[in-house]
Amino acid sequence: MRIDIITVLPELLKSPFEASIMKRAIEKQLVSVHFHNLRDYTELSYNQIDDYQYGGGAGMVMMIEPIDKCISKLKLERHYDHIIYMTPDGETLNQSMANSISLSGNIIILCGHYKGVDQRVRDLLITKEISIGDYVLSGGELAAGILCDTIIRLIPGVLNNETSALTDSFQDNLLAPAVYTRPAEYKGLKVPEVLTSGDFGKIEAWREKSALERTQERRPDLLE
């Protein structure tokens, strides 16, 4: 998969790709991530990429021209399955959306700033608008990092068997079961006996029950 990220603040977003699972996925060449600084696509003085909004009001709006130039250049080079705009009024990200985007070949992610982008960018250039939750960030960069993490870990070969995404929370609309590691007893608190029994049938049944109980207690909406 190839991910092209368009941003005015690439430095805000680079470090997540330089550590842990996303770094490994890049090293294994299962994904490549490319940053494009919008300021490289404007001819205005001071590398201006935003302007006052028509009709007045507080807050600057990102202009269409630099965004159009950047996206058009990328589209000349290859086909994109999704051109995504990160915005608090987009569709809320969930696991099934991440599963579906992870099947893409190439995607573009546009990070918004200020009061957002000129509506014509959304009408003409964007194919998918995604929010990571009902709260407002200062820009779309951290949201783009979260989107990339959820999709990259789903690409076959990124996780090994032990960390397989198939056992993650939400994969079957259930939260993940409780997990334990050594020691078997700590300050009087014991690990459930079945987990140390070696009986894999019983262990599997216990995990299913634990996942169901957790989901009923914490997220009954997932069971509806």
Nearest-angstrom CA–CA distance, 215 and 212: 5
Q: Which of 19, 58, 136, 189 binds ligand ADE (CB under 6 A)?
A: 136
Instruction: Give SS3 for 223.
Output: helix
DSSP state at residue 127: S
Q: Which of 16, 66, 88, 177 binds ligand ADE (CB under 6 A)?
A: 88
Output the smallest distance, CB 86 to ligand ADE, in A: 4
Nearest residue to 153 (alpha-carbon basis) of 53, 7, 28, 62: 28
| Binding window for ligand ADE (CB under 6 A); candidates: 45-53, 58-66, 98-106, 131-139 | 131-139
Size of the site for ligand ADE (CB under 6 A): 12
Which residue's CB comes closest to ligand ADE?
Answer: 143
137 binds ligand ADE (CB under 6 A): yes
Nearer to ligand ADE, 42 or 87 (CB): 87
Nearest residue to 41 (alpha-carbon basis) of 8, 12, 85: 8
Nearest-angstrom CA–CA distance, 137 and 25: 27
| Binding window for ligand ADE (CB under 6 A); candidates: 14-22, 45-53, 117-125, 137-145 | 137-145
Output the smallest distance, CB 4 to ligand ADE, in A: 17
133 binds ligand ADE (CB under 6 A): yes
Site string for ligand ADE, 58-87 (x = CB under 6 A): ----------------------------xx
112 binds ligand ADE (CB under 6 A): yes
Site for ligand ADE, residues 139 to 168, rule: CB under 6 A: 140, 143
Give yes or no for a contact between 11 and 35, defined as CB atoms under 8 angstroms apart.
no
Helical spans, DSSP H, in the chain = 20-27, 64-77, 95-101, 119-124, 141-152, 200-218
Q: How does 53-89 read in b/e, with b if 16+ C-beta sit within 10 Å?
A: eeeeeeeebbbbebbbebbeebeeeeebbbbbbbbbe
How many alpha carbons lie under 13 Å from residue 79 in its C-beta half-sphere? 3
C-beta atoms surrounding 28 within 10 Å = 11
Nearer to ligand ADE, 54 or 135 (CB): 135
Output the smallest distance, CB 168 to ligand ADE, in A: 21
| Binding window for ligand ADE (CB under 6 A); candidates: 66-74, 97-105, 127-135, 210-218 | 127-135
Site for ligand ADE, rule CB under 6 A: 86-88, 112, 131-133, 135-137, 140, 143
